[in-house]
Structure 1
């Protein structure tokens, strides 16, 4: 007995000395912050509690001092977690007010017990429950403090979290055991309280040294608060159920155990149902935002979620659907319709989320409903059926109309259905919806501009393709004209007739091939590995009846290039036709092929008037510029484009008065046996 008393006095005395030393340390630091003053008060409360235990104060008095001590530490921890941030991302005053109310109730309960029975030897059930509440609240607060401290700042706060967390963890363990044993606190476990408190002193000293100004950069996310509130509410519910179950077992007689089991099973079912309910989570989230935060929304989280919803297609969703869904998320709307401006004539429903698109909807530009948006700066809310006739094809659940404003023009609006639970949109909700509507409008405008640009590019590509085809047909027409002009002299020659028939058949086939390229869905022909000399020989053969001689010279030998044969033939045909046109009767046009390193060179050389350097550099390859009567001005540009598509280039070597060489440069491909075969033309 005396040994136990000696041990108890020793450990409590050591605890008191530890906090006394800590108080002296804080005072020696001189001027301190508000947080430093708060921890000084906590140490003083702990010193008084330990000293009163050493002098054997009555149990009721010790219990009161213990409540004051625990209240001080809890409020200090809550004060660190509570952030009155200007951006409203932290917890508001409601969190601190709730903790303060709990501490006041705990002290008031002890005062009531002290007044009723100053010499009470044991704790009452209410006092036990209060201490269990201290343990739960303290651990949850420390958990929030640790989890929401930035990683680089945790080095500063871990001693504090271990010290205060250890204190409340032991309180929860000790008094949970006492509650199970119906109010009897184990003496051996009770002696551990001052030991735990004594271990706090060096950890707190370390924390003080690391936090000179006691500034902890914390962001408490609303999701963490939601989970914490859910855990606290669940714990309180299960604690209440346990108390009721214990009473049922004590006073239920023979049916006590059955009633207890039924109570416990039913409570678990109810709790699981509530926790899995989306509506319950939304209501709790709304309650927390309204009472514990300066602002209703965590704007950083909400905006990132909005950007993710709009930017990332989910299951192939169109942009319009994603916009409706993203706006609906802000106010928990279950459905919505997007109305788009159509050529300035009015607004029509173009997309719907979780409801059908109105079939006969239209909102003229001068409609009072549309004018109510005021250039996109006003969100309309239907608060009663009085406005039903003014809303275009509005369902009975239509609630909010959010304008999609781009450059001060309302290019559309989203009509959201009323939320399943009561949500009263305030200025924050309207500001967030307005900003999100403008962002969504920019997405829509960008998508429409992209579509217009894509259509324009398709039209440009088609025009370019059409111009190339027309130019190739012009070259074919020149060849046919040549045949017609020679027919008057050689029509009776069987050999000429056979050549004419082959030329006409080839021209018809090539024209059909060219016309097929004008189809909207025509795919570009894939390049092939071929021997270019086959194409060179075929092109030279097309000009056998030309007024000038066209010769082909193979100086490249057996080689291969990768190109569409029709493109190479078209490019060569144009170059030879131009050379023939500028040559005088009796001149020669030479098509020669050679190698230079790993490149193939195909030269088309004439003895025409030539071109100066300025013309070649500034005008030759300009589309729709021609120096020939009846020319389209597209040939040189087309030829260079065709060669560049194959990875090559077109080079011009010309001198005024001495002729021109048009040089096709193509990369040589690895030679294959198939390249020696005649190419299909």
Structure 2
């Protein structure tokens, strides 16, 4: 009885506290707590009645005790109303849309299975001798139907829209939607165009769409379509339709346009757009305030009203998708530019080599009248013509193959220098070769290294007067071969060497291309060496080429 007496005292104290709380609350704020006070006070009042009855009859009435749970359940809506009226009572609990979606789907499946089980039991009970057969067939069909419904995209779409509309303030969980949107755009597999349509379409439960991109031709051209019949039609970028998308950046609802065309001004819908079945929305893709393209979406699986929230989300998604597509277009353009650059660079070097051969043959012909009866000159002329023909054949082979065949291999640098100097010996003044360290081996392509050394010798010969001198010297410094090409020409200033000598397409010659010295330095660097220049005006110039040596064992391994 002591416990019952304490419970009665607690019920009285609770009713007093609720009454004092309500009385001391300002009148303007009582509307927010009155239902909570009514519910909580009712609980204490019921407890007072139940325990008072127990004190009177010296035992708790089982029926009154059983009704206590129902009474407590009845006050829950009253407390919920007060909680909704008083935002400061919020506990900050957020319910995930995904959890609610799966819970609703599971709850609906459970109710469906219970109903089907009851129906199956009824068939078995009243089906007579066929009852068991009918029950098994019915339950199997019911399970198959449930699986079909659960995997239905239309049903899932309807359930998502229903939950977002009736259980949440906003239609979207923006964090989840944006993560899914960027994940779809970044996936590998099918093309970015299809992924863009899919990412935008999933925001509004659309099953398909098509993508148009503004091309350099001045028209928005169809690029790709996804789950939508192919629509034939390009839209000029200066049409009222495209100008409206660019200037207003609105999402066009074609159903709204049909019912209220005055909202869209004087815009004229393209005829090809009307020919697409079940077309619904046109989403502009804006890049730097310019119309990059647009996405046309099919009607959604479940009815969605295009309000300000949906429209704003689609516009932001369109801008994000436009940045991805613009990056892809830029990458493609850069790839094409690099291919042309590679081709142009190879063509430049080939033309430069042909120019050197023409210059060499021209100098030889200029000396032919004077030395045509000299047997040594005739011999040198034949060798020069033969070497020129071989070089032109290699150039033609390179152009026809479309790729470089100049692969490095071990070679003796002294032999290469002998051939390079011999090729220039048909012209006066002849270069002089000094081999102080013979037998040195380097790793390089013979034709290309001979070409750049020959070019440096040719430049030196063109820079000297008739009584000048060009010397080619081969020495050794530790593990490197040193090739020096010295001339007694007019020389170069330090400013010219620093600012112009190694810059491509810069030349002091009237017919020069300015790529020979640039190619020489690039290839020497590619071999792991370096090319240095020292020069004094009116005294001469020295090109010093340092190439790493290749020992015999290493050369054998490379050759193998």
Deviation for aligned residue 1:587 = 4.3
CA 1:525/1:288 → structure 2, altered by over 3 Å: closer, same or farther? farther
Deviation for aligned residue 1:59 = 4.4
Match of 1:277 in 2: 152
> Is the CA contact (8 Å cut-off) linking 1:575 and 1:604 kept in structure 2?
yes
Match of 2:462 in 1: 581
1:427 partnered with 2:427? no
Match of 1:633 in 2: 514
1:348 partnered with 2:221? yes
1:382 partnered with 2:254? yes
2:69 & 2:91 partners in 1: Cα distance?
27
**Count of aligned positions:** 526
User: SS where residue 501 of structure 2 aligns?
Assistant: coil
Question: Which of 521, 535, 542 is residue 661 of structure 1 equivalent to?
Answer: 542
Question: Which of 479, 482, 491 is residue 360 of structure 2 equivalent to?
Answer: 479
1:490 & 1:648 partners in 2: Cα distance?
40
User: SS where residue 383 of structure 1 aligns?
Assistant: helix
> Is the CA contact (8 Å cut-off) linking 2:231 and 2:272 kept in structure 1?
no
Match of 2:182 in 1: 307
> Is the CA contact (8 Å cut-off) linking 2:491 and 2:535 kept in structure 1?
yes
Deviation for aligned residue 1:366 = 4.7
> Is the CA contact (8 Å cut-off) linking 1:402 and 1:437 kept in structure 2?
yes
Can you give the 5+ residue segments of structure 1 that lack an aligned partner in the other structure? Answer: 1-8, 86-212
CA 1:485/1:390 → structure 2, altered by over 3 Å: closer, same or farther? closer
Question: Which of 241, 244, 266 is residue 369 of structure 1 equivalent to?
Answer: 241
Match of 2:486 in 1: 605
CA 1:78/1:248 → structure 2, altered by over 3 Å: closer, same or farther? farther
User: SS where residue 535 of structure 2 aligns?
Assistant: strand
Alignment of 1:125-274 (within 5 A): 219-243=94-118, 264-274=139-149
User: SS where residue 373 of structure 1 aligns?
Assistant: helix
2:463 & 2:365 partners in 1: Cα distance?
21
Deviation for aligned residue 1:573 = 0.8
CA 1:490/1:72 → structure 2, altered by over 3 Å: closer, same or farther? farther
Deviation for aligned residue 1:385 = 10
Structure 1 residues 204-227: Cα deviation after superposition (integer angstroms, max 9, x where no partner) = xxxxxxxxx998665533222111
Match of 1:126 in 2: none
CA 1:528/1:75 → structure 2, altered by over 3 Å: closer, same or farther? farther
Question: Which of 179, 184, 204 is residue 331 of structure 1 equivalent to?
Answer: 204
Alignment of 1:539-578 (within 5 A): 539-578=420-459
1:639 & 1:305 partners in 2: Cα distance?
53
Can you give the 5+ residue segments of structure 2 that lack an aligned partner in the other structure? Answer: 22-31, 262-267
User: SS where residue 470 of structure 2 aligns?
Assistant: strand
Deviation for aligned residue 1:507 = 1.0
> Is the CA contact (8 Å cut-off) linking 1:344 and 1:365 kept in structure 2?
no
User: SS where residue 619 of structure 1 aligns?
Assistant: helix
TM score, norm. by length of structure 1: 0.66
CA 1:559/1:325 → structure 2, altered by over 3 Å: closer, same or farther? farther
Match of 1:166 in 2: none
1:650 partnered with 2:525? no
Structure 1 residues 258-311: Cα deviation after superposition (integer angstroms, max 9, x where no partner) = 666555444433332322222222211111111111111111221222212222
Deviation for aligned residue 1:642 = 2.6
Question: Which of 203, 216, 231 is residue 358 of structure 1 equivalent to?
Answer: 231
Structure 1 residues 191-213: Cα deviation after superposition (integer angstroms, max 9, x where no partner) = xxxxxxxxxxxxxxxxxxxxxx9
1:241 & 1:624 partners in 2: Cα distance?
85
User: SS where residue 331 of structure 1 aligns?
Assistant: coil
Deviation for aligned residue 1:647 = 3.2
Match of 2:28 in 1: none
User: SS where residue 356 of structure 2 aligns?
Assistant: helix
Match of 1:511 in 2: 392
1:614 partnered with 2:486? no
1:217 & 1:562 partners in 2: Cα distance?
73
